[in-house]
């Protein structure tokens, strides 16, 4: 059997956590505007992204009717595996996508009219939900709404094989009942084939809209919305727009609701259920009172952790002297990673100058302290709109970029300022430790089946971590051989000791 030798290169020891390395950067699009809104890490190690396109060239091979949904499937190295446009003959906006248990995908957004790919309906702009197979072919599609406007901003597959959709509705007819006035938060539960099982409208007499929904361990749902109301289902309003968290049971009945904010404006963009069954919501605030403390100038990114009962446990603002917004969050083994954008300049939490808005990613510990941060940008507007954990423990970042290039990768708009999709893959990290290069170590075979051998050193002990840096075991090594038949298939990090010298390497178990 041919052996693959792995040569190791190391980093200097650091007392603080080091930012992960950028493994690849991808710009996708054509000569017009292409705006990425959602990303989902896929089970094959790649990613699927969704947004809208006006282009009919470049990476787009199926020209849109006007503004269409554009979905791109990437492999683990960032190469395009397939791409599809879907939509009506009018303006369509795509917002969210999820991978389904059968390897396919579910996506949602707003269809501007019911023609083209969109189901015929008595109404116009509606929430559009589409099920795709693993290759991006449409299996079924449904429209939901009434005589006014509806928007679908979040979709997830549920544990019963169906789907939950969150967005907003201004209707009180068609599929919509119980509207409180203006736009309401609108939640739809669908069967596995897209049949509407139930729907709920929540809000007050003013503007209410939901942006993110996740299923909870009790089978219910938690929703991140924003509200301008102080009546109907809304209590505790602070002024202007507040972040509004709703906890629903499995039937969509409101169990509790919580407004967080101040007298300024707050808005959420993402919510997650943490491993301790609490909730983390991210967005922005420009308040310096109420629930928000410690903002700098302008708008700050805002993180709020709530208990399972909706009690605020802690909150933290992040940013500098200008506009800073958070758009996505994922939990890591020792904290959280967040995405957004910043236009601040060397102030507060921000280092360097970002006059035109740069895409921003950073890592915090469980108490909210920043451990590392990175910026991506050029002289135009760049932003991240979402984040996912890849199967190897790295981070997938998604957003949009303007200008001729970013991170040395050319865009499709040249010197014309139009958006391209932006997707970035960051390497897995070991958390708070990096290691010194003391020797040129070789490990073989890699991938490994049962045992891995070290040469060019005298290894006497190892620590084995999973791809996200969680310690799995420590043990002695005999004859420069580590036996690992008990470990599942996947990528592992090995910290190897040769006396006082320390090395780190990655192996793949097959």
User: pLDDT for 316-336, tens place per residue?
Assistant: 999 999 999 999 999 998 899
The top-scoring range by mean pLDDT among 15-19, 167-171, 425-429 is 167-171
Give 129's pLDDT tier (boundaries 50, 70, 90).
Answer: very high
Largest CA distance in the chain: 76
pLDDT at 250 over 70: yes
Residue 439: predicted pLDDT: 45
Cβ neighbours around 47 below 10 Å, total:
25
- DSSP class of residue 19 equals P
Residue 221: predicted pLDDT: 98
The predicted-structure confidence for 184-209, as pLDDT tens digits, reads as follows 999 999 999 999 999 999 999 999 99
What percent of the chain clears pLDDT 90, i.e. is strictly above it? 67
Give 151's pLDDT tier (boundaries 50, 70, 90).
Answer: very high
C-alpha distances in angstroms, 312 versus 159, 307, 317?
A: 28, 6, 14
Residue 469: predicted pLDDT: 61
* Contact by Cβ (8 Å): 5, 41: no
Domains defined for the chain, CATH in brackets = 87-260 (2.40.128.630), 433-509 (2.60.40.3080)
Rounded distance between C-alpha atoms, residue 200 and residue 101, angstroms: 26
* Contact by Cβ (8 Å): 125, 145: yes
Burial pattern 471-504, b for ≥16 Cβ within 10 A else e, equals eeeeeebeebebebeebeeebbbbbbbbeebbbb
Residue 119: predicted pLDDT: 85
C-alpha distances in angstroms, 298 versus 195, 285, 323, 355?
A: 45, 9, 6, 14
The predicted-structure confidence for 63-107, as pLDDT tens digits, reads as follows 767 889 999 999 999 999 999 999 998 899 999 999 999 999 999
Residue 2: predicted pLDDT: 34
pLDDT at 445 over 80: yes
Residue 14: predicted pLDDT: 31
Which single residue is written with the structure tokens 């906890």?
Answer: 247
Residue 477: predicted pLDDT: 79
pLDDT at 416 over 50: yes
* Contact by Cβ (8 Å): 128, 71: no
Give 399's pLDDT tier (boundaries 50, 70, 90).
Answer: very high
* Contact by Cβ (8 Å): 149, 170: yes
* Contact by Cβ (8 Å): 36, 59: no
Residue, of 93 and 482, whose pLDDT is higher: 93
Residue, of 263 and 457, whose pLDDT is higher: 263
pLDDT at 167 over 90: yes
pLDDT at 13 over 70: no
pLDDT at 434 over 60: no
pLDDT at 409 over 60: yes
Q: SS3 letters for 395-410?
A: EEEEEEECCCEECCEE
The predicted-structure confidence for 367-388, as pLDDT tens digits, reads as follows 899 989 999 998 889 999 999 9
Residue 15: predicted pLDDT: 30
pLDDT at 495 over 60: yes
Residue 500: partners with Cβ closer than 8 Å, 6 or more residues away: none
Give 438's pLDDT tier (boundaries 50, 70, 90).
Answer: very low
Averaged confidence pLDDT in the chain = 89
- Rg of the chain over all Cα atoms, to the nearest angstrom: 24
pLDDT at 345 over 80: yes
Residue 3: predicted pLDDT: 36
């Amino acid at each position: 059997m041919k052996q693959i030798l792995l040569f190791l290169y190391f980093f200097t020891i650091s007392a603080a956590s080091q930012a992960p390395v950028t493994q690849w950067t991808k710009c996708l699009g054509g000569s017009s505007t292409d705006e990425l809104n959602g990303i989902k890490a896929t089970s094959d190690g790649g990613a699927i992204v969704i947004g809208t396109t006006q282009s009919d060239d470049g990476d787009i091979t199926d020209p849109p009717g006007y503004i269409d949904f554009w979905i791109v499937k990437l492999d683990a190295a960032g190469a395009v595996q397939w791409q599809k446009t879907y939509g009506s003959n009018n303006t369509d906006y795509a917002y969210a996508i999820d991978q389904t248990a059968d390897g396919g995908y579910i996506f949602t957004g707003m269809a501007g009219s019911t023609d083209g790919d969109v189901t015929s309906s008595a109404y116009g702009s509606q929430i559009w939900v589409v099920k795709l197979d693993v290759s991006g072919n449409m299996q079924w599609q449904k429209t939901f709404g009434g005589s006014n406007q509806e928007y679908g901003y979040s979709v997830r597959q549920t544990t019963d094989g169906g789907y939950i959709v969150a967005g907003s509705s201004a209707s009180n007819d068609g599929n919509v009942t119980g509207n409180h006035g203006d736009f309401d938060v609108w939640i739809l539960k669908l069967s596995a084939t897209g049949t509407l099982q139930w729907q709920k409208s929540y809000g007050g007499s003013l503007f209410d809209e939901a942006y993110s929904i996740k299923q909870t361990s009790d089978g219910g749902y938690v929703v991140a919305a924003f509200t301008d109301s102080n009546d109907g289902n809304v209590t505790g309003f602070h002024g202007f727009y507040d972040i509004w968290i709703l906890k629903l049971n499995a039937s969509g009945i409101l169990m509790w609701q919580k407004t967080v904010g101040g007298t300024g404006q707050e808005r959420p963009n993402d919510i997650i259920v943490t491993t301790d069954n609490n909730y983390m919501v991210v967005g922005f605030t420009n308040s310096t009172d109420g629930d928000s403390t410690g903002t700098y100038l302008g708008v700050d990114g805002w993180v709020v952790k709530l208990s399972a009962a909706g009690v605020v446990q802690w909150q933290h603002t992040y940013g500098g002297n200008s506009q800073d917004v958070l758009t996505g969050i994922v939990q890591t083994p020792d904290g959280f990673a967040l995405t957004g954008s910043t236009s601040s300049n060397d102030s507060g939490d921000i280092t360097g100058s970002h006059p035109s808005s740069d895409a921003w990613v950073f890592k915090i510990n469980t108490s909210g302290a920043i451990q590392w941060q990175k910026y991506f940008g050029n002289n135009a507007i760049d932003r991240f709109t979402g984040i996912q954990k890849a199967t190897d423990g790295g981070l997938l970042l998604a957003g949009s970029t303007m200008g001729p290039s970013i991170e040395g990768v050319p865009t499709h708009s040249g010197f014309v300022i139009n958006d391209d999709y932006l997707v970035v893959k960051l390497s897995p990290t070991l958390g708070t430790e990096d290691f010194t290069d003391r020797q040129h170590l070789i490990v073989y075979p890699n991938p490994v089946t049962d045992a891995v051998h070290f040469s060019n050193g005298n290894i006497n002990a190892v620590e084995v971590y999973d791809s996200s840096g969680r310690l799995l075991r420590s043990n002695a090594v005999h004859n420069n051989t580590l036996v690992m038949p008990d470990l599942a298939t996947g990528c592992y990090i090995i910290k190897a000791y040769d006396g006082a010298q320390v090395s780190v390497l990655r192996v793949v178990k097959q």
